[in-house]
Structures are given as C-alpha cells and as structure tokens.
Amino acid sequence: MLAMALFATLATASPPAPAPASLPRVPGMRLRLGMTESQVLAIGSFITTPTAEAGGGTSRKGPARFFGVPGEATVVLRDGLLAEVSFDAGGVGPHSQDYVDDELRRLQLSRACQPDLPGDRTCDWTSPALRVHVEMKKDHLSAHAFAWPPAPAPAPGATAGATTPAPTAPATGAAARGAAAGAAGGAAAGGAAAEAIAARDSTPAAAAPVATLPETLTITVANRKSPSFPHIVSSPTLQYPDKAKQESLQGLVWVRALVDPAGKVLETSIERGIAELNDSALAWVRGSQFSPCEKNGAPCRYVVRVAVLFTLY
C-alpha cells in the first residue's frame, strides 16, 4: 500500500516549472544560472559530490554536453539556486575545439584570450550577466560559467543578514569644512583640512575613461568596404612574402585588433593564422584606418576580427 501511495504521489506531482527565459543561459548548454535544484535535475542526472563547496553551496556532477561535445559537468548550487557550472572533456580534437570557438563567437560575447593559439587557447567570454572561462589544450577542453560581474564581497566583520545603514547625504560647503576640521582636532588642523578640501575641489576632474564595446565585431573579406559599421576606410598594399609565394602558400589569416574612437589601431594579435603570412597580415591591419566609433553620443573603442586573404590567383 505504501508503494502504491508513493507511486500515486509521484504520478500526480507537477513537473518542475521551466526556468524563466530572463535567467542567463550557460552557452552551449541547457542550464541557466539561477535555476532551482529541481529544474537542474530535470535536465540531467547530477549526483551530489561528497564535499561541500565553499560559501555554503553544494556541488553535483553528471554527464553533459558543451556545444555538442560530450563530457562531465559540475553544477554548484547556493541557497538552492544554480550559481556556477564547470565542464571538462578529454579527447577533443582541433576541429571540435575550433567549432566550439566559432559557436561562442556567434553569440556576440566579448572575447579576451591569452594565449590564443590552435591547441593552446585560454579565453574569457563575457556578457552583461555572465562570464565563461574556456581553456582549450591539446585534446582537452574545459569551461567554467559564473555570474558576472561577481557579487561584491561583504565588508570585514559584517554578518549575514545584517542591515546596511542608509547612506547619508554628503555635507557640502561650510558644513563639509567644519566636519573636516572637527575630525582633525583643533582649529589649526581644521584649517589645514579645509585647505586640503578646497584644493581637492578645485582640481579638474579626470577625464572619463573611453568605453570599449562589449562585443567582438567582425570584418570579413566580403564586407570590408561595406558602409555599415565597422568597415575599413583605407588600407595599405598587402605585402605577400616572397617565401610564401615560392611555396605557393595561400589562405586566410584572422587578426584581432583593438581600435580607438578615431579608427586608429592600438593593438593587434593573430587569432588564427598561417606562420609564413602572419607578420604581413599584422602589418596590413596596423596600417589600415577603420571607421570611427560612437555610442549614445560618446566616443568608444572596439575590438574587431579582420579577415586577411592571401591568394596567388
């Protein structure tokens, strides 16, 4: 009877509600940060690991796929909600690694890599809500997804659940100078503090840093001269190395460039290249003038992938 009652309870229980679409999805997986434990378990078979995670969370492990690559995932739950996801897979060939890299690019995430070589690539992919740290070594791929920017750490000595006092309006004018004088102790010290405040207030504010667009843009061979943003305004003659010509080397070199608001190249690096052609491709991109950048009425920098084609025909 007990077994029948249990079966009846399971049969009539409502399935876990789907995770809200507003929760940040882990790229290449069905998981979303902020899912409840029941929602996570409805997606895969994750077994609790014996060791509790730091910060009061617990971890579970189970088989999973990352952009179709089979491996093992570790999900970290804190306060009953999915906080982090790690993925690890071995036996991942270079073609599968390039496929994962290309799929991440399609999501238009901000990309920062060091190093960035075939078979040795470590990249951080960032969106407004999460960051994915991906490492691709020889025959190995790992990824770690977590909320971004991270939650601020509690102040030293603060206890959980403590109420933060409401901020008070800063004192201005004579009140500010009087407060500084009292804190310094004495009229002489107060005068010095007031002078320091006056000097500070009279110093021009530092110029606001120029923002960089969060997404990595792309210029292909086809849209290089397109009027849309971004495009190449002007470029030097591409120098084809003599040795490469003699060996009939041809192909596409992808260069990653950081461009300032006026369209001048600040930094370059090879994203995917051909050893004999890389230096020439870098020189061509450095000598090119790109379209300027402005967003919401303010100048901005941007990162762009540029396709440089070497062909003998």
Cα(227)–Cα(298) distance, integer angstroms: 20
Looking at the domain assignment, is residue 169 inside a domain?
A: no
How many domains does one find in the chain? 2
Q: Assess whether pLDDT exceeds 50 at residue 182.
A: no
Residues 63-108 have pLDDT tens digits of 999 999 999 999 888 888 998 999 999 999 888 898 898 889 888 8
Looking at the domain assignment, is residue 179 inside a domain?
A: no
The confidence score (pLDDT) of residue 209 equals: 73
Among 106, 129, 147, identify where a domain stops: 147
- CATH number where 136 lies: 3.40.1000
In the predicted model, what is the mean pLDDT of the chain?
78
Q: Higher model confidence: residue 9 or residue 138?
A: 138
The confidence score (pLDDT) of residue 128 equals: 82
Q: Assess whether pLDDT exceeds 50 at residue 167.
A: no
E-state strands within the chain: 47-52, 58-66, 69-78, 81-90, 110-117, 120-126, 130-137, 140-147, 211-219, 232-234, 251-259, 265-272, 289-290, 294-295, 298-310
Query: What residues have CB less than 8 Å from 14, skipping those under 6 apart?
Result: none
As beta bridge partners, residue 271 has none
Closest to 87 measured CA to CA, from 147, 31, 23, 22 = 31
Residues 205-245 have pLDDT tens digits of 455 678 888 888 999 988 887 888 999 999 999 999 999 99
Q: Are 39 and 16 in contact (CB under 8 A)?
A: yes
Looking at the domain assignment, is residue 218 inside a domain?
A: yes
Cα(210)–Cα(78) distance, integer angstroms: 36
pTM of the model: 0.47
The confidence score (pLDDT) of residue 2 equals: 37
Residue 134 sits in the same domain as residue 226:
no
The confidence score (pLDDT) of residue 8 equals: 42
Residue 24 sits in the same domain as residue 128:
yes
The pLDDT-based confidence of 23 (bands split at 50, 70, 90) is: confident
Q: Higher model confidence: residue 19 or residue 274?
A: 274
Rounded mean pLDDT, 190-201:
47
Residue 35 sits in the same domain as residue 124:
yes
What is the domain range of residue 26?
Answer: 15-147
Residue 129 sits in the same domain as residue 242:
no
Residue 28 sits in the same domain as residue 103:
yes
Residues 87-98 have pLDDT tens digits of 999 999 888 898
Q: Higher model confidence: residue 197 or residue 264?
A: 264
Residue 29 sits in the same domain as residue 133:
yes
Looking at the domain assignment, is residue 99 inside a domain?
A: yes
H or E element at residue 41:
helix 37-43
Looking at the domain assignment, is residue 81 inside a domain?
A: yes
Q: Higher model confidence: residue 2 or residue 57?
A: 57
- CATH number where 277 lies: 3.30.2420.10
As beta bridge partners, residue 192 has none
Residue 245 sits in the same domain as residue 134:
no
Residue 138 sits in the same domain as residue 220:
no
Neighbours of 281 (CB within 10 A): 24
